[in-house]
Amino acid sequence: MTTIAVVGGGISGLVAAYRLRTRLGPDARIVVLEESGRFGGKLRTVPIADGPVDVGAEAFIARRPEVPALLAELGLTDQVENPSSARPLIWAGGRLHPLPAGTLMGIPATSGSLAGLVDVDTVARIDAEPSVPLHWDRGADVSVAALVGSRFGEQVVRRSVDPLLGGVYSGLADTASVRATVPALAAALDAGATSLTEAVGRALPPPSDAPVFGTLRGGYGVLLDALAAASGAEFHAHTAGASLRRSGCRWEVDPVGEVDGVIVAVPADRAATLLAEAVPAAATQAGRIPLASSVVVALALPKEAALPDNSGILVATGEDLAAKAFTLSARKWPHLGAREVTLARASFGRFGDAAIVDADDDQLITLARADLATVSGVTDQPVAAVVQRWHGGLPQYRAGHLEIVAELEAAIAGVDGLEVAGAMLHGVGVPACVQSATTAATRLLATVAG
């Protein structure tokens, strides 16, 4: 009987277990170890007021194929919900602005998209940028802040780029690699774009009427439950992979024992610890990937709460607010807008700001209410509230991240029966994690089943 250990019970680990089961059949033994008391990793659906709410990731990029294909396999396509036409706002300079259209992760192709959000000097600088010589090293990587700041100025970085990067990575443009976080922009520059303006114009996706995002009516918990059931795996909560070492042609995983193969699907710091003895070169690279912590406060407000008719409010860097963003869930998702309460979420925490995660629940709820009142005028007392902390929730893709990942994967590639997967590699979103897990399972099967 083939035995595989999957260390990590987040979305990557669950997808890996499911992929292994579909290929190995019912007789294989697949064991999933999870250090925490629950499975799903940074995805979690909880009951609040009259129904379920996601307090981790709440959406997926619908234009990527991985999640729709997985949902179809599991018979969950009818769970998909599309967003409303409501647009997000940005809080900058103490007031609300429309989210700039026609940008690439907040980086504009023209000054017109940022009119009103930045001052007239910055507008003039954007307009003049194509005439300023650009020095781009095709083999190097820099932070988004360094590139955009040098070409368009600090206001563009802090008021347009940071709010979007903060929502995706819980970081800032300073800790975001151009190549890892805006690869289309890097490709346009590598291909010879003579200005940042030209590069953004080349990199922007073509217009489309298709929804950019999707979500699940019952929350991500529906997908997690379906994956767990379809994997037929043994699940062990409160059980970390304590050690990993080679045992002849097999692997010794504490506390499972000998197995034929292992997929490591845990955050970068845990991967560094687990791989230290077996593949020290890979462990060293995993240890170079820093993690950011964050908090989500989900609020169920009275039905009459007058939230703006917008999908969310992003907060520029340097504003006098504790929150970094608000999701106006009742306005963003029609199925949530039909609930008996008005749902909203406040997000806190960026890389280097771990203290906010340690605030107590009452303090965080108070901050969420105060900041929501500042940006929206809504002061209603919540009917219910849930606080979810994500310690080390998101890896930071700093300049040079792709080189780190390449060296990590090269070290793993030389070792039979061992693979890695997860958000620390090629993307932090759910589609990227699904792809990472699928790739890891496919590679492992090539050696174990070969």
Cα–Cα distance between 137 and 388 in angstroms, integer? 42
pLDDT at 197 > cutoff 70: yes
User: What would the mean pLDDT of 14-18 be, rounded to a whole number?
Assistant: 98
Coil, helix or strand at residue 251: strand
pLDDT at 449 > cutoff 80: no
Cα–Cα distance between 246 and 235 in angstroms, integer? 23
Coil, helix or strand at residue 203: helix
User: What would the mean pLDDT of 312-338 be, rounded to a whole number?
Assistant: 97
User: What would the mean pLDDT of 131-160 be, rounded to a whole number?
Assistant: 96
pLDDT at 432 > cutoff 90: yes
What is the side-by-side order of every strand in the sheet holding 418-420? 234-236, 29-33, 3-7, 261-264, 418-420
HSE-up of 138 (CA within 13 Å, CB side)?
8
Which helix (H) or strand (E) segment holds residue 123: the answer is helix 120-128
Q: Band of the pLDDT at 43, cuts 50, 70, 90?
A: very high
Domain 3-40+219-289+397-448: which CATH number of 3.50.50.60, 3.30.56.10, 2.40.30.260, 3.30.70.1450: 3.50.50.60
Nearest to 322 by CA among 258, 373, 381, 270: 373
Cα–Cα distance between 329 and 313 in angstroms, integer? 11
Cα–Cα distance between 417 and 434 in angstroms, integer? 20
User: What would the mean pLDDT of 108-126 be, rounded to a whole number?
Assistant: 96
What pLDDT is attached to residue 209? 82
Identify any residues that bridge with 388 across adjacent strands, giving them in sequence order.
296
Cα–Cα distance between 70 and 180 in angstroms, integer? 25
What pLDDT is attached to residue 242? 87
Cα–Cα distance between 333 and 217 in angstroms, integer? 9
Cα–Cα distance between 103 and 122 in angstroms, integer? 16
CB 344 within 8 A of CB 299: yes
pLDDT tens, position by position, 346-379: 999 988 887 899 999 999 999 999 999 999 999 9
Residue 399 amino acid letter: A
Tokens linked to 302: 């009275």
User: What would the mean pLDDT of 4-27 be, rounded to a whole number?
Assistant: 97
Q: Length of the chain, please?
A: 450
Cα–Cα distance between 277 and 274 in angstroms, integer? 7
CATH 3.90.660.20, the chain: domain bounds: 59-99+205-218+291-395
Per DSSP, helices labelled H in 255-400 are 268-275, 280-286, 329-332, 334-337, 361-376
Strands 291-301 and 384-395: antiparallel
Coil, helix or strand at residue 140: coil
Indicate the fold that domain 59-99+205-218+291-395 takes in CATH: Polyamine Oxidase; Chain A, domain 2 (3.90.660)
pLDDT tens, position by position, 303-315: 999 999 999 999 9
Q: Band of the pLDDT at 81, cuts 50, 70, 90?
A: very high
Q: Band of the pLDDT at 450, cuts 50, 70, 90?
A: low
What pLDDT is attached to residue 419? 98
CATH 1.10.3110.10, the chain: domain bounds: 103-203
User: What would the mean pLDDT of 29-46 be, rounded to a whole number?
Assistant: 96
pLDDT tens, position by position, 232-257: 999 999 999 889 999 998 999 999 99
pLDDT at 139 > cutoff 90: no
Q: Band of the pLDDT at 208, cuts 50, 70, 90?
A: confident
Mean residue pLDDT of the chain comes to 96
CB 21 within 8 A of CB 230: yes
Name the DSSP letter for residue 351. Answer: T
Q: What is the CATH number of domain 103-203?
A: 1.10.3110.10
Rg of the chain over all Cα atoms, to the nearest angstrom: 22
